[in-house]
Structure 1
């Protein structure tokens, strides 16, 4: 296509006969058959080339402003990454303060102070000349396409309406800790989550008087409701177990787990916990620990597969490694027409080729709204999203592909099949009562053209006549 453009021809007057990949390479053991297939491929390509028409791409201006939804670690890092490159940023946060779930955390497993990091990050965001922060704000309407989005936001306690024009969106709505319903949580003061334990251990003398502490892993994770691993629970348990042993070496700490997942360099902390005397006992999903209460004493009963019998431990504290859940984004996903998986995390367009992009161009995702992850991983993904977003914002204009669907209004029966079949929610029924497809939003997948029973929709560069010409050429002389 580039060669055609350099010669002054329209690049859509191009058709390839791929006789290498589809001929000689796959039929290297049969040269005669490969040659015959190459002839057929050339004949088909010539037939289609004769039916091609020049197509013209449309250029659209870019609004040099970013909208970031969520003011946690991911959102703030993404905002700084874009603002430092000279672009305006509007950061929308539903809570009164920035920081998200990380505000409740204390230290990383490496010992870094999370609260001081969040404070510095928030201060940088608030004082950055290119960043505007809207707290206690909710998105209520969203429209437009890559480079030219329009979002309506209700801002502050008064909920006054604010309209924002922007070129890209970064979703960083974050996650939340699962609130356990099992193991007497909320019924006994000695039953805590790992986050609550981390905060308690920051208090003076927190570990004094603790004889035994039991931790149960995979609470709210790896079950029917939430089948995937939350990734951070094992490290949180090991971090707190090490902290307890350092504060009070006499405390016996038991970690009941299904699988310990300290991936990468985190394995060294598992080894350290073992060296400090932390006990690890494995349990099966079908045989979870049992927790009972008698006279305010908590007793945890579990099966030791090495001894082949059940053990009971009276514990001062029962710590639940509660999983991470996505924030409630059902309304936001509906407003922006974005895809989520069964666990309500936003789905990237392609895990390897477009890892921080949503299917809708110009919308990006990062942080725990995408999947559970560590702070270091969240920062890395936020920077990746900011970097990818600036490739849109740094362009003088965006070029729309000419390979888009178009509707013949005279044939359209307004049956809504195109509306239901489009994976990108592009077709709409306009004021005239017929289907309308915005070429700025169309991804050129062809689903609507294939489904339309009235043949009212054509896909540029893949029209029926162009495709059937190849079939006719192949079958010439056969039928």
Structure 2
């Protein structure tokens, strides 16, 4: 053991989480029923390097399971047995993922899968489509919390007892039961907090503010990832950039003083050498090897011209394999490398760096994408997928033999930034960049800054929004490095990463701006409902209209006898098959506010699933404890709003009673969907992609969650996907942090070029001609 003393200007805490141990609960049989596993143990069963090499069998007798059940919320949403009142946010999605992967494993025999849940919380971007895919593939979703699990016949499998929707006790036998365990704070959270002088929440996660989502209670110390609270990987990666942004803000004056440039050995001149190609075929765990016979592909690669070495690796992208590849290059004099693995979009730079460390030009690498373009799309035909992989490797080897060293050109970076959108996201991004010393032009199409937040009362932790917003606007408008253009419209975009040029129309006058990177924070809007008498009766209103009424006329709310909230108005329906993420939390907060005004008011919430994820679950529990009545409905049994004797009346089928309830309502509040702003002109100017719902597409949801598909462009806020204010601020600062990395360079490298490009072009042309003319 050694003690090191480090002098630092900021600290970022990312100690992760602990997986919940279900042996603490006596109802699930974990630890004495062999075929009851945790979700992490099940993940190992599916892995090609797991205990059964990826062949799915149950532990008790190593037979293939025919019936598998997942039980959700084990160690989460539980205030009686473990004290974890919060939702762990990720469990529903990983259970659905495991069910879909299991179906791929067991495609050769009949399989039944069931997921027992309280609320399905697929609240992330494109998550709802994943749920729909599982439903279409026959996964049963049972709204029930099993009371107990008993051993199956002969101590094999397990028997689950639960109460179904009709109130009847049901007993089912499964071959495997998977416990979807939740996330807890690290065991040493208290000692870590004491050593650093920061405060923790009641659940031992780092305490932060909703308006400063990664800042702990001690200045200069930041928390990110699951230590800040349970979250999915895209949000964790985004928050990592947010923490980096906050640390960079503190360390701005010292930026660059301790940096060291990575050095590489001088490149070997391979121009006169005969091609000596090394081929590395990746199994990628189950991703490739479960479909493609990678050993057969490796054996085939040995027969190809110029190939002098072939390896099959479990994970070619691992650090150990990178060292191994570099060693083989030196030992065998390899001068071309082919990696048959996944997409070059995510891993090409990693392998290119390995070549540079081995004194080879990085563009002597060729990748064959046998995962995304083969194994993932041909899972039902292993033989043909293997033959296709051989073709892919053969083509990559042929191209690698013709590859020549290339050089990158360098261009000057315009160290200014453009931010499009003047809401909370855009202003946070602009302010961060300006505080880093970069000149920023903020373009807002409206007459005033503030965007959607102007209509909000408070954030999820209960902090008032308007004082924060007023202060933010004042900082932006008075910052010497920020030029604010209101009532402005972007007209043109020219150039590329590092050097963009645009014309902006400001009140009929065109202004020319130059910038090296841009953050798009185009915002979102509340969809206009077309049902439930909205627009026909003033007592039927949306969330935003309700917030306005609470501010303008709280006495009318206090005098009301009853109110009905209807969730999922326009969301999770064919025209918008996604979850709007913020509506459930807004409803329970509104219900609690109304109960505070009038504790005797009857408040009903009609919902399909309550998605108060993470720590927001405690708001849901408080609402239930205060007397708010929650009634679940389905897409087929949607509520009906009518008028009886001049009064509003809502009818809904109660699934527990099996009877239709008629609820009198002084007000009906609709949780209308959130949709992206109609900013097609800006999207077309920048040529960035959108998903099927019109939200801006990130370059990669886990590796580059705030980068857009066009280099030099970054995204934040509602135009990316609906999200609450704390997540919006975190994403905006993360996007600005990513942009600052680019803007901090005086020069940047462009796409490679060759000094002998005409010769190379002729060689490629000759190859293509031979391919086209060969029978």
State the TM-score bracket (shorter-chain normalisation). Answer: 0.7 to 0.9
Residue 110 of structure 1 pairs with residue 370 of structure 2:
no
Once the 2 structures are TM-superposed, how far is the Cα of residue 208 of structure 1 from its aligned partner? 2.2
Q: Classify the secondary structure of the residue corresponding to 1:163.
A: strand
Match 2:726 to one of 376, 379, 386: 376
- Partner in structure 2 of residue 99 of structure 1: 450
CA contact (8 A) 2:641 2:649 kept: yes
Aligned partners of 1:42 and 1:10: how far apart in 2?
14
* Structure 2 gap segments, 5+ residues each: 1-261, 309-335, 337-396
Residue 198 of structure 1 pairs with residue 547 of structure 2:
yes
Aligned partners of 1:67 and 1:310: how far apart in 2?
55
Per-residue CA deviations over 1:283-308 (Å, capped at 9, x if unaligned) read 11011100112343111001001110
CA contact (8 A) 1:212 1:314 kept: yes
Aligned partners of 2:512 and 2:608: how far apart in 1?
49
Aligned partners of 2:457 and 2:399: how far apart in 1?
64
- Partner in structure 2 of residue 181 of structure 1: 530
Match 2:695 to one of 337, 345, 362: 345
- Partner in structure 2 of residue 7 of structure 1: 267
Q: 1:147 to 1:295 in 2, by over 3 A?
A: same
Once the 2 structures are TM-superposed, how far is the Cα of residue 328 of structure 1 from its aligned partner? 0.3
Once the 2 structures are TM-superposed, how far is the Cα of residue 104 of structure 1 from its aligned partner? 0.6
Q: 1:152 to 1:48 in 2, by over 3 A?
A: closer
CA contact (8 A) 1:15 1:49 kept: no
CA contact (8 A) 1:71 1:172 kept: yes
Once the 2 structures are TM-superposed, how far is the Cα of residue 237 of structure 1 from its aligned partner? 0.4
Once the 2 structures are TM-superposed, how far is the Cα of residue 342 of structure 1 from its aligned partner? 2.1
Match 2:441 to one of 90, 103, 107: 90
| 1:22-421 to 2 correspondences below 5 Å | 37-38=301-302, 40=304, 43=307, 51-155=402-506, 158-202=507-551, 203-402=553-752
- Partner in structure 2 of residue 18 of structure 1: 279
Aligned partners of 2:521 and 2:294: how far apart in 1?
55
Q: Classify the secondary structure of the residue corresponding to 2:727.
A: helix
CA contact (8 A) 1:17 1:41 kept: no
Q: 1:294 to 1:83 in 2, by over 3 A?
A: same
Aligned partners of 2:762 and 2:733: how far apart in 1?
37
Aligned partners of 1:386 and 1:76: how far apart in 2?
10
Q: Which has the higher contact order (CA 8 A, sep 6+)?
A: 1
Q: 1:176 to 1:50 in 2, by over 3 A?
A: closer
Q: 1:294 to 1:92 in 2, by over 3 A?
A: same
- Partner in structure 1 of residue 215 of structure 2: none
CA contact (8 A) 1:220 1:323 kept: yes
Q: 1:267 to 1:119 in 2, by over 3 A?
A: same
Aligned partners of 2:263 and 2:766: how far apart in 1?
25
After TM superposition, the score normalised by the length of structure 2 is 0.50
Aligned partners of 1:117 and 1:141: how far apart in 2?
33
Q: Classify the secondary structure of the residue corresponding to 1:352.
A: coil
Aligned partners of 2:294 and 2:723: how far apart in 1?
51
Q: 1:252 to 1:402 in 2, by over 3 A?
A: same
Q: What is the RMSD computed on CA atoms of the aligned residues?
A: 3.3
* Structure 1 gap segments, 5+ residues each: 409-457, 472-478
Once the 2 structures are TM-superposed, how far is the Cα of residue 463 of structure 1 from its aligned partner? 3.5
Number of matched residues?
A: 414
Q: Classify the secondary structure of the residue corresponding to 1:385.
A: helix
Aligned partners of 1:31 and 1:334: how far apart in 2?
46
CA contact (8 A) 1:171 1:364 kept: yes
CA contact (8 A) 1:403 1:459 kept: no
Per-residue CA deviations over 1:367-396 (Å, capped at 9, x if unaligned) read 101000010000111011000001110111
Aligned partners of 1:48 and 1:340: how far apart in 2?
33
Aligned partners of 1:142 and 1:3: how far apart in 2?
36
Once the 2 structures are TM-superposed, how far is the Cα of residue 461 of structure 1 from its aligned partner? 12
Q: 1:461 to 1:364 in 2, by over 3 A?
A: farther
Once the 2 structures are TM-superposed, how far is the Cα of residue 7 of structure 1 from its aligned partner? 3.5
Aligned partners of 2:294 and 2:448: how far apart in 1?
69
Aligned partners of 2:448 and 2:306: how far apart in 1?
64
Per-residue CA deviations over 1:96-146 (Å, capped at 9, x if unaligned) read 111101101111232111111111111110111111100000011111100
After TM superposition, the score normalised by the length of structure 1 is 0.79
Q: Classify the secondary structure of the residue corresponding to 2:683.
A: helix
Once the 2 structures are TM-superposed, how far is the Cα of residue 459 of structure 1 from its aligned partner? 9.3
Per-residue CA deviations over 1:340-361 (Å, capped at 9, x if unaligned) read 1222111111111211111110
Once the 2 structures are TM-superposed, how far is the Cα of residue 207 of structure 1 from its aligned partner? 2.8
Aligned partners of 1:334 and 1:31: how far apart in 2?
46
Q: Classify the secondary structure of the residue corresponding to 1:401.
A: strand
- Partner in structure 1 of residue 92 of structure 2: none
Aligned partners of 2:692 and 2:303: how far apart in 1?
48
Once the 2 structures are TM-superposed, how far is the Cα of residue 9 of structure 1 from its aligned partner? 3.9
